[in-house]
Structure 1
Amino acid sequence: MMTIVAAYRYGSFAIVISDFRITHKQGTIKSQYDACMKYAQLGFNMGMFFAGDVEYIQKLIPILRSIQSRLTTDNVIDENGPLRQELLAFNRGLGIGKRVFQGIGFLFDPQFNKNEIFMLQGFSGTETLQVKKLASGMCTIIGEGSKVPDLQNALTNLGRAGSSYTKIRSFHRRMQLQSRMIFPKRYKKYDQETIANLLQNKLNQVIRGCGTGVYNELGISPYYVKSLIGKSGFCMLSGTNVDSHITTDFDENGSVPRTTYTYTLEWDEKGKALYWSDSLSPGRVKVQEIEKYIIPNTPVQMAVNPNGQFDPFTFDVPTQDIYIMNQWVEEGGFIERTFYKQIWLESDFYNPDLYRIAIDCKCPPIEIERYKRGGKHILFVSDALAKEFEESVANHVFDHEWLEQYIINYDSFYK
């Protein structure tokens, strides 16, 4: 289950974002490889994305292929249909264990230009097997990635905004009528690939907000592949993603420079295989199909852009929950400070949603040079003082003497 597959369906269309990481556990030892495509083509008109136990899934795929010709868009989600009944029969023959699989699949009917997009979930050795239509107008997440707080809602809201017609005011033509301005309406709708890019960017943003430890904890690779499902067609998108980090932050050495990181997914026509590469790792890595996946000889993982996101995991703080200050310094103008709390979850990563506890702005042109660094910064507050600090800091945002009593590293931001 240590993976992420996120699917947003709208009507007969869907966008699927999936990762490449496979996690192997032997006792307390865990090794992870970014080398597996979580997708299998099951016939000319059927495919499925998977999360769960790889060995279990590899045994399921031949069963799915064997019944593919008997499946229709009418019976594929039927409780008594061939899909659920054949998989149940297979499950009964397995010993009871902790093996689980989830799947997001699609089936096309080219004759009538329609499809069905559905979800599967089952457990080995049990009668538990769920088959249901994938809900339209919302995001469905399978795998451990579903544990990230508010990720499903964030992707659902963005998907709805991008895939529905939105009335946008046009300022090109205006008419004066009875002393009122009338703005003719025009309609805009994003194309499917644009929505996919927006969803992937949002997914990246939310997961990165948990800190880099989330990739190891949930078994998720830091970059993904996008797939598009239409009424009677499917495509997986290759290409290069550019992750640029542009900031107005500064430190004692001046402004923080822009950094750029690239990740490329490409099909090798000669070798008939898919490969990924990134600008921080040597060479390229072959992406295996899940049906034929075997453990690579050496661990291989995509690099995480070290400057791409403010990362609480890089600091050794005295409290489990952390406090953050975003200090915006406008030379010759104003200084704005916002204080946040970021909560440590039982899942062993940070909640991506920051809780604001204080904000204030002032214009101190005389002492502007005393504010040494701009941007987001971790505040070192002792555990004994944390509760008092959190309750009172809103009244002391620029009270340097008070802040120095609570923030151990305060001289890093103000001298």
Structure 2
Amino acid sequence: MTNNLDMFLPDDTFTFNHPPLNSSGDIYHTVALLLVLKHLGLPLPKVRVGYFDVPDGCFKTEGKLKATELHATRATSFASALGFDAQVQMIKVNLPRCVRINSRLKATREAIFREDSSAKVLDQKVSTGLLALIADHLGSTAVTDIIRTGFTTYASPLTTQLDAASKRWLDDEYEKVRKHAAPDAQIVIFHERLADNQNQNNSTGRAFDAIRKKIKALANVRQFTFRAGPAPTSWPNSSRSRAYGDCDETCSKGLTEHCVHQVRYLQLLARLKRELITHDGGSRFLGIYGSSSGTLDAPSFMGLRALSFHQFADGPHGRNESRRDTVRNAQDQREALMSCFKSVAAKTQRHKDAADIFAQWMAGSYEGLKLVATPSVDRVYTQVHTRPRKGRRSREVAKDIAGIDKKLCTLLRRCLTR
């Protein structure tokens, strides 16, 4: 089963660079890759998740931790719960002030080099391309089966007390969804996204209003919302199942710090798909939809049916439609690669388009975007950064991983044009 899979990876061990961010959703991509590599008996990369002491006004401070440290803690806690504490670790990044993402990437890379001067460092977005390559080689079902098992299984058994608390929480959340539907009604989950990071992809506006209106007109379909944040207690048919910090609702005092919210949320989604069935054994779980985010990518990696609306930057599907070039930034290219695991749609100014796309997706007839890949994808996804010589810019010393760039570029073209 592992024949030729090593051709996707560098000859030497490598390290993923997770720069300091005001979010932690990228960790689902790197941990998903770790699970697949481990299952196949392949070498595991290191993952370094950066954080820094931000000055006032850069990112919000949440509780006792600064924002980037909080999200780095969440990311590493998830990886540790699944058994990758040796591979995935936090790393402090030295930055004198709040800077843009490229400077944070560079500073994190320098911190990694201080830890290991001979490290081969890859942007964490490479993990998505490698997952897509492996899925193309093995088949997506084989890959999503591996990830679904890994995402929902703790590496070490929970204590009796914590296991009981977790099961109570799962039962309660499952019942909220089940009771919302009539015995044979179908359920679709709305994944709400409200974030400061990449806020152009928040799941708000007339397009999502139009989709909700479309669902209300369907006699045998119910929507349940997994909220991203607080809402009035009168908001029906919704839950903060995937939110942070809700462990104290079901866990006894003293257990809160051990609750890994990402694992329990993914366990809930897997249970919904597995147990929401009709009297004749058919599935009542239609899938999950929302705007692009790591917490929507996670169920996609598990093989759950998903529809993601993404705000592309430029080109015919982007905000700047006057730019008819096909160059995609790194985030747009990652979302395009995710079309190997989920249905991807472009956010548009016409809210009716979103409702029509949703209806096609529900019916199983949505074919996805027809985009054109560009030669730039191999530069974005397959750069290895070695220690730059004095006076040279890091991009001038970036070199491609032998053998990966051509394969990845070919795969991206296939994903985008199928």
**TM (normalized to structure 1)?**
0.22
Say which structure is richer in helix: 2
Larger radius of gyration: 1
**TM (normalized to structure 2)?**
0.21
